[in-house]
Structure 1
Amino acid sequence: MPEKPSSAGYRSLLRLKMPRRLALACVPADFSDWLDYAAVVALLVYGWGQGPVMLAVFALALSLPYVIVGPLLAVLVDRAPLRGVLFATNLGRALATFAFAFTGDTWVLLGLVFVRGCIDSAFTPARQATIQATTPTELLGHAQGLHQAINQTSKIAGPAIGGALLAFWPAQSVFLFNGALSLFAAIIILGVSVPERVATSSTTQTFAMRSMAGFAEFRRSRRLRIALIFSASAYFSFFLYDALIALLAEGFGFDATAFGLSISASGLGGLLGALLAGRIAGNHPMRSMSLAAVTSGLATGIIAITAMLGLAIQLPAFLLALGFMGGATAFMLVPYRTIVQAEAPPDRIARVFASGEAVIVTTMLSAPLIGSAIATRWGTPSAFFTGGVLLILLGGATLIANRRPAQS
């Protein structure tokens, strides 16, 4: 059974030995991901002179494992001891990252990126299963907020640190450093003790049937289903305009330095939003997600209309708006994961989480292309306006749907 807290809150969560060790292990694990990202892009573009096509293939190599491999590996994650899975996946990520340093071929490197992504597609559901197994129910929201904050901090600082290291080291040396980070995470994982899970699913099912159990949970639970549809739709809305922030900043007359600050502002907003969502979104997660979508949509729409009308905006106001949008994004993600933790049976939590990730990533993949087409045809602000309107409609529709009597 999970340890009992003395009182609710992040301090209560971090007083518990196993949640604290898991969070500590996830710091080097998450930082390794984002340091790798910066190093691979630098090697492809500046080292090997690759262009947009190979960068697109790189994006696919990062994303596709969660769609086509994650739900399959999650079957094994749900059956194996979680500490062993966490250790093996961090060790595997370390070995794959070390291999990055010893290849001089673009396609081999991208193949290794895909392999590392496949390993990561098992680590992420195993982390969620471990959170569920070691965290008291009343602190699940705080646990999700803490882990999202770790990931968001890594997303902000990882590329910056990677860029700084690349000023002194070749990309291959950064890969070796990143591999060492994953090894360090694996060593910390050895100190995590996870209670055994009681299996409730039939052992006579075929592998294919077991791999579909995660999707079946979304059909069984109306609450899970609404949360997944919401999250997939929200991510689609974000990614209509996420890659166009530089063009929007340029349209307002801001330079490259201001663009860098805007990314930092969005990341900082996401970090603060994750911690705040962990505190207050656990009691009413669907309502929190819906209201966050409406407010984020309004902020996005206001920025878009300002640009459409050719109005000037001061840089601090622009940064504040992007920070608010980043915080609202976290306010949608943390409650979704809290709902999955609360609804999914312990013996299939990894499959439920991996199945949801597969649906979300599949939905996301088409959004940048559609957003680019909208921006090309009607201008960059139109993509932001479209995404903002979709978020407002999504939040309103989810509020209405959530008022109906729950049915399984």
Structure 2
Amino acid sequence: MSDDRPADPADGVTEQDRPVTFRDVFAVREYRAVYLSLVVNWLGDYLARAAIIVLVYQQTESVLLSAASFAVSYLPWIVGGPLLATLADRYPYRRVLIVADLTRAVPIALIALPGMNVYAILCLLFVAMLGAPPTQAARSALLPLILERRKVVTGVALNASTSQAAQVFGYVLGATLAVAVDPRLGIALDAISFVVSAALIAIGVRPRPAAAVPSGRQHLLRETGEGFRLVFGTPLLRSIALMVFALTTFTILPEGLAAGWAALFHEDHSARGFDQGMIMAAGPVGFVIGGIAVGRLLRPSTRRKLIKPFALLAPTALALTVLASNAGTVAVFVAISGIAQGGLMPTLNGEFVLALPHGYRARAYGVMQGGVQFTQCFAVIATGALAQFTSIPLVVGLWSAGGLLLMIFLVARRPQLAAVERPDSPAVEVVPATHVTPGQVQAGTAGKLDR
């Protein structure tokens, strides 16, 4: 039975502004299939990443090659993520998800074979990860087609929180299996997870036509460029993109600098390992708490009002780590920042998805995710280089303080979102305040898209 009941006029809350429960979202059959597919997919991915690092290190005893095996998984997004994501708009999203999962299962299964050369492992891993951009873009673009407008942000929050939880559990389980049993077991489980994920989509999601009709196709590079023009030429989309990119330049620091940070507090290697894990896990744990609490308990109007406070809290909490005297205190501040991120990111992502014209969601997602990967890589390299000349707490504190100033500037210039949302229709319409038709995107320049 649906929870959608007429609003009580006495409480002054419209039906569309009532908090959306997880029960509301899981009541949608197609969303259940997409969500279960995501859980299986992410758990397998993170489990395999941890296992492959161990496998490469066992075979070579090279820290450089084991680190390279981790970095390879991000390389496709950096070198061609937006281009690969654009492919998802050319074909039905359901087909993209199924084909990409089944295709990725093959190279991962080959990695699990005994005697595989290390350099072959790295090449196969890169080939497998080429399927990540179109898969993630198709999943993001599909969400507004299967959920009502008012449920989209809760669905995004649930997906984001689940991916963070899967990251923690996948890394722990993958490392444990790799060390205690055999790293190839974790890799084989990842290959199986792709097949299971494809089956869930095939059974639970109904076929839909491609977002872009064949007659309207252009060169892939041109279509990718249209995604960039749409994102950076529309005031609301540009504002969200810049806020997300700014956020990721400092929120990635606890993960990227955790090893060196933990070394400041203990000389004992085992204690350092625990502190490193605590610092790295604090952000994802906080994200899960913030995402679930905000997405489940707060009304849409309240979530929008909290965008600015959360945007300022995230860098402020990290800046305060400069005062921390132990890893536990660092983890607390990192967790607070994670809670702010969990409350902020799904709301921004929901606004972003709802403001996009149908047929441009996958390529716009590619622009965003490619930017996130690039800014994270830049931030870790830059702060790591700075930490060679001074202390990590000072680098993180000053970098995050700079992030706070940047976020103050961005939230002050953030355009107002139109409050017109119809709860009774799928989220396939464009928010009126940022209406950009495909024709305008193709014909106009970035400047002409401002309104």
Q: Structure 1 length normalisation: TM-score?
A: 0.89
- Structure 1: gaps (5+ residues): none
Q: Counterparts of 1:234-383 in structure 2 under 5 Å?
A: 234-253=247-266, 255-279=272-296, 280=298, 282-283=300-301, 288-304=306-322, 306-307=323-324, 312-313=325-326, 315=328, 317-383=329-395
- Give the match for residue 11 of structure 2: none
Q: What fraction of aligned residue pairs are identical, expressed as a percent?
A: 19
Q: Pairwise CA RMSD of aligned residues?
A: 2.5
1:45–1:301 Cα change, 3 Å: same
1:213–1:36 Cα change, 3 Å: same
CA contact (8 A) 1:340 1:352 kept: no
How far, CA to CA, are the matches of 2:352 and 2:140 in structure 1? 9
SS in 1 for 2:194: helix
Which residue identity lines up with residue 75 of structure 1 in the other structure? T
Which residue identity lines up with residue 299 of structure 1 in the other structure? A
Q: Counterparts of 1:195-234 in structure 2 under 5 Å?
A: 195-196=208-209, 199=212, 203=216, 205-234=218-247
Aligned-pair CA distance for 1:126: 0.7
CA contact (8 A) 1:30 1:151 kept: yes
Aligned-pair CA distance for 1:193: 1.6
CA contact (8 A) 2:254 2:280 kept: no
- Give the match for residue 4 of structure 2: 6
Q: Counterparts of 1:120-131 in structure 2 under 5 Å?
A: 120-131=132-143
> Does 2:409 align with 1:391?
no
Which residue identity lines up with residue 355 of structure 1 in the other structure? V
Which residue identity lines up with residue 220 of structure 1 in the other structure? G
CA contact (8 A) 1:286 1:402 kept: no
1:264–1:372 Cα change, 3 Å: closer
Which residue identity lines up with residue 93 of structure 2 in the other structure? L
- Structure 2: gaps (5+ residues): 6-19, 418-432, 434-449
How far, CA to CA, are the matches of 1:204 and 1:163 in structure 2? 44
CA contact (8 A) 1:5 1:13 kept: no
> Does 2:107 align with 1:96?
yes
Worse-matched range after superposition: 138-147 or 215-224? 215-224
> Does 2:177 align with 1:179?
no
- Give the match for residue 25 of structure 1: 37
Aligned-pair CA distance for 1:206: 2.8
Which residue identity lines up with residue 226 of structure 1 in the other structure? S
SS in 2 for 1:69: helix
Aligned-pair CA distance for 1:371: 0.5
How far, CA to CA, are the matches of 2:58 and 2:345 in structure 1? 34
**1:189 aligns with one of 201, 204, 210:** 201
Whose helix proportion is higher, 1 or 2?
1
**1:69 aligns with one of 77, 80, 86:** 80
Per-residue deviation, residues 49-92 of structure 1 (Å, max 9, x unmatched): 1222x245334422221133332233331121111111111112
Which residue identity lines up with residue 323 of structure 1 in the other structure? A
SS in 1 for 2:218: coil
- Give the match for residue 424 of structure 2: none
- Give the match for residue 163 of structure 1: 175
Per-residue deviation, residues 320-364 of structure 1 (Å, max 9, x unmatched): 323212222333432232122111112111001011111222222
Per-residue deviation, residues 216-238 of structure 1 (Å, max 9, x unmatched): 21133111011111111211122
CA contact (8 A) 1:285 1:339 kept: no
Which residue identity lines up with residue 89 of structure 1 in the other structure? A
- Give the match for residue 60 of structure 2: 48
1:44–1:75 Cα change, 3 Å: same
How far, CA to CA, are the matches of 1:152 and 1:281 in structure 2? 23
CA contact (8 A) 1:14 1:20 kept: yes
How far, CA to CA, are the matches of 1:177 and 1:185 in structure 2? 12
Per-residue deviation, residues 142-182 of structure 1 (Å, max 9, x unmatched): 01111112211111100111122224432222211211111
Aligned-pair CA distance for 1:199: 4.3
How far, CA to CA, are the matches of 1:50 and 1:314 in structure 2? 28
Aligned-pair CA distance for 1:247: 3.0
**2:130 aligns with one of 111, 118, 130:** 118
SS in 1 for 2:337: helix
1:377–1:202 Cα change, 3 Å: farther
SS in 2 for 1:122: helix
- Give the match for residue 400 of structure 1: 412
CA contact (8 A) 1:43 1:171 kept: yes
Aligned-pair CA distance for 1:204: 5.6
Which residue identity lines up with residue 257 of structure 1 in the other structure? F
